[in-house]
Amino acid sequence: MVVGENLSFDNLFGTYRPRSDAKIRNLLSQGIVNRDGSPGPEFAKAAQRRAGVRDTYQVMPHIVGTYGELPRPGTTYAPGLPRFTPDARFPALLPNGPFQITKYVDYTAAVGDPVHRFFQMWQQVDGGRRDLFVWVDETSGEGSQNRADPDSGTNQGAVAMGFYNMAAGDAPYFRQLADTYALSDNHHQPVMGGTGANFQALATGHAIAYWREGFLAHPPPNQIEDPNPRPGTNNWYTQSGYSSGSYTNCSDANAPGSRSIRAYLAALPYRAFNDGNCEPGAYYLVNNYGAGFLANGEPAPLGPEIFRVPPQSQPTIAEALSAKGISWKWYSGGRTAGGVTREYCGVCDPLIYSSAIMTGPLKANLQDHAALFRDIDDIYGMPAVAFVIPPNTESGHPASSTVSRYEAFLRKLIDKVQSNPALWAK
């Protein structure tokens, strides 16, 4: 299993057409865009709207209007560009809907990173209408603690509405893989939001909770998420950001943000899985914090101003595989024999959050890419289950990587496996 980052299905496969008579649901098949990337006959289905949230957080805010045109996408932290400013490579105004990224920049170019956080994504989806991506990005952005002045704006613009045009030649290796193997147009990430929470879902099927001395506990106040708007603002979250609030008590209907999500789930025509599995008194991490262990197994420092989680005790897929005698390894880009480099993604290495893994013999199964390529050469060294995390700059993550670099990583890896016929046959 190779896990890249933060690219939606339509962002990559929005104009893909299957080679056979297979059906697909994407921007092209729905008539939202044409094969040349221009607006299609149903373009208005993807129109983005504006809303108003002045007092308490709402999953489905009151709509106050529709964008006439979309603002210029932001650079966020894409390398080689001014940081967190409108991206001058794109027009100042864009049609209100999805736009082809490569109409304005080369396929290999880095572009801005769309907001992907828990409470923001709930609002962006807007009860399934998916019409508030731009508005949420412009109002709350990635978190108000990162923008002390609400009037300064988030400089996200319409970055979330960009797509690559596979019909025009973008993402050729992904297209080759889709033509050759299976492709799912109905996969959804397990958790609304970003990298850390979704990797925890992959490795444990759980969310991280705040513990102290073996018991559920109350996190430091500055680490609790509060998506209610600050007084006098429209949807500018009170406490939210990468070095700020990221825990929420979803069992408490009065907790900030909780009531609206719970009401939405209760109104669904089916019952949400175990009513959300919110244990009373538990504060769950819904965004990105570092682990309670360093990658080498040493305990990490903790505290109110240190945005790391206490060591976790939830069962992991690694322990389940080992209990059944099934071999596994987790290969992380940026790991080395001497430690980790800037290519290492800590929140993408979810097993380092586990006390059972990091204080026992299974820690030896957390390995680097040098070990991965050695194991591919030796069929007897390759485990039955392999999790592969690309280096940061090859993960496909917008801004810090590119789709083309992720494709190059996948091609290198798959070619390497295919070069060992005995391994490929498995």
C-beta atoms surrounding 236 within 10 Å = 22
pLDDT beneath 50: ranges in the chain: none
Helices (H), 324-380: 355-358, 369-377
Those residues with Cβ within 8 angstroms of residue 182's Cβ, 6 or more apart along the chain or in another chain:
none
Those residues with Cβ within 8 angstroms of residue 191's Cβ, 6 or more apart along the chain or in another chain:
118, 197, 198, 200, 201, 207, 286
Whether 183 contacts 415, CB under 8 Å = no
Question: Distance between CA 172 and CA 365 in Å, rounded?
Answer: 34
DSSP-based three-state secondary structure for 84: coil
Model-wide pTM > 0.85: yes
Q: What does the pLDDT read at residue 144? A: 56
Whether 146 contacts 117, CB under 8 Å = no
Nearest to 68 by CA among 111, 28, 97: 97
Question: Distance between CA 183 and CA 23 in Å, rounded?
Answer: 11
H or E element that contains 339: strand 339-340
Q: What sign does the CA torsion over 254, 231, 49, 189 have?
A: negative
**Both ends of the chain: CA-CA distance in Å?**
14
Q: Scan for tokens 């106040």, then name that residue.
A: 221
Q: What does the pLDDT read at residue 390? A: 98
Backbone phi, then psi, for 243, in 5-degree steps? -120, 55
Q: What does the pLDDT read at residue 380? A: 84
DSSP code, position 204: H
Residue 27, both tokens: 């921007």
Backbone phi, then psi, for 251, in 5-degree steps? -80, -15
Question: Distance between CA 141 and CA 63 in Å, rounded?
Answer: 18
DSSP code, position 36: T
Q: What does the pLDDT read at residue 193? A: 86
